[in-house]
Amino acid sequence: MADLTTMPMAKALNAGLRKAMQDDRKVMLMGEDIGALGGVFRITEGLQAEFGRTRVLDTPLAESGIIGSAIGLAMRGYRPICEIQFDGFIYPGFDQITSQLAKMTNRHEGQVQMPVVIRVPYGGHIGAIEHHQESPEAYFAHTAGLRLVSPSTPNDAYWMIQEAVRSNDPVMFFEPKSRYWPKGEVDLAASAAPLHASRVVRSGTEVTVLAHGAMVSVLLQAAEVAAAEGTSIEVIDLRSLSPIDYGPILESVHKTGRLVVAQEAPGFVSIASEIAATVTERAFYSLQAPVLRVSGFDAPFPPAKLETLYLPDADRILDAVDRSLAY
């Protein structure tokens, strides 16, 4: 039986973290200003008061230290969840993540598990300054040993964070910060799709469009406009960036013959590049047009007043759809 409620993604993540901590006393939170303050986005608000300072730790401003400590805690049987305050702050912890966290289980031939979740608020649309609106997911998708996921709805956020915590492998949990506040339905009784499943969120027949995180809402806007103009677009929410669930993607491309992949990150050597290459390899004879990519530009993220020029919008998606249909 459904137990539906309406809440923004920020509250859904808070509720999901609370449930994970209630279910397992080994689950703990670590990060900068996540305790009394509740984090800069208030995702952990109230959790330190409920679970105490030993389970919700305010850390120094040292991402390498946060990740390194989480690795040690995981080796002792804990399930730490680390918050990186903003996407662009993750790089001081990059070595710990890619050289240690990702490789520890393989280094010990499977005898050491690394149940660590790293929460990363990422992406633009919030009018912030440098290092606060980046999309670094491709760096980590390239690293074997890490799982990467990104919810686009409050319901997915609530369930995916709990599934990530239960994983015995390290999970990079990319949270689209521009989607923290829009509200959506959350079913507290029925789990969402599996953690690493992509999903069709709007059916269509002429062109498949695909994205993850905040870009999914942009695709749905574009699909509405296209429908009013007589074009049927199928929208897929990727949800998992590593591993990628290609089943629904390939099934859709076999039906429509066309694919447009969208992302906020720059296009060169990216998630979109990987999907375009793989779909071309595995569905070549179904394609009626090249796989097209719509992305941020191959340049540093600009000042806030220029972000709308940098980030893909519905117009750029529809332009790619038109180019695909023109072949």
118 and 175 in contact (C-beta within 8 Å)? no
* Residue among 125, 132, 142, 196 flagged as catalytic: 132
Per-residue b or e along 235-246, where b marks 16 or more CB atoms closer than 10 Å to that residue's CB: bbbbbbbbebbe
> 263 vs 45, 275, 310, 313, CA distance in Å?
30, 11, 11, 10
How far is the C-alpha of 120 from the C-alpha of 154, rounded, in Å? 16
The first and second tokens of residue 135, run together, are 């999309």
Per-residue b or e along 218-230, where b marks 16 or more CB atoms closer than 10 Å to that residue's CB: bbbebbeebeeee
132 catalytic residue (yes or no): yes
Per-residue b or e along 62-86, where b marks 16 or more CB atoms closer than 10 Å to that residue's CB: ebeebbbbbbebbeeebbbbbbbbb
How far is the C-alpha of 179 from the C-alpha of 131, rounded, in Å? 18
How far is the C-alpha of 269 from the C-alpha of 274, rounded, in Å? 8
User: For residue 128, is it left (φ>0), alpha (ψ between -120 and 50) or beta?
Assistant: beta
Across the strands, what pairs with 115?
none
CA-derived radius of gyration, the chain? 20
> 246 vs 37, 236, 238, 242, 277, CA distance in Å?
40, 11, 9, 11, 12
How far is the C-alpha of 130 from the C-alpha of 25, rounded, in Å? 37
**Which residue numbers are catalytic?**
132
